Amino acid sequence: MKMELRLHEDTPFASNTWHLGPGVPRAIYVSAGQVTINGTVLEQDDGIVSSEELTIVAGGQGATLWRWEVTPESAAVAALAGRGTMRLAAPIYAAAISDSLLMRLDSVAFPPGGCALLHTHQGPGIRCLREGSIRIDTEGRSASYGPGGAWFEAGPEPVFAQAAQDQSSRFIRAMVLPRALMGVSSIHYVNEVDRGKPKSQSYRVWSEAAIEFPEE
């Protein structure tokens, strides 16, 4: 069965309540506003990873959520509470990652002029820029992103990232990784000379959890 990693942007009205069924690995990031998920309040710039059934209540000012899901390619696309859009989808393959998997939601922040030296990861993920701007060089191509711009990285292809020179930049990402990396960075620097160099980027992990790919 073909699987996809999807990024949705949901914009529910104030105080709306909706439910997400169990068995689908999800990462949810609160880009704006506030939500309550299974009784726990999540403020702006917070997030969770879960495969459980979720009851989500938007705060009094509404909310904007970034929601990543691992789902069969054939699954229908639906916005939460009928408001929002699917921003990006890309195929992923469990066999190419590991026999056992986790999903991680984190952020990567750069000071002005910061960069991520040529590197790979041990699993795929979709990134979405929160602030600033960034240029991503990979597979012989170069693309630049501003706030809200989203892109997919498959993992094994080397990537170089250059952040804006005049402002701080940060992106949010959800990745599917080998479960053996629970609590461990997935990055690998391609050039041995770069491995001992000081790194400009910093990380914040909100949540990670063991997952199983859903059945169709």
Q: Taking Cα atoms as reference points, which of 116, 121, 123 lies closest to residue 194?
A: 116
pLDDT at 189: 97
Binned at pLDDT 50, 70 and 90, residue 83 comes out as: confident
Per-residue pLDDT tens digits for 105-138? 999 999 999 999 999 999 999 999 999 999 999 9
- As given in the structure block, the two tokens for residue 87 are 């921003």
DSSP string, 194-206: GTTS----EEEEE
Per-residue pLDDT tens digits for 94-108? 999 999 999 999 999
Domains annotated for the chain, with CATH where assigned, are 3-94 (2.60.120.10), 101-211 (2.60.120.10)
Instruction: Give me the sheet containing 134-138, strands edge to edge.
Output: 141-145, 134-138, 159-163, 115-120, 188-189
pLDDT at 216: 55
- As given in the structure block, the two tokens for residue 30 are 């609160």
Per the prediction, the chain carries an average pLDDT of: 95
Q: How many CA atoms lie within 13 A of 198 on its CB side?
A: 3
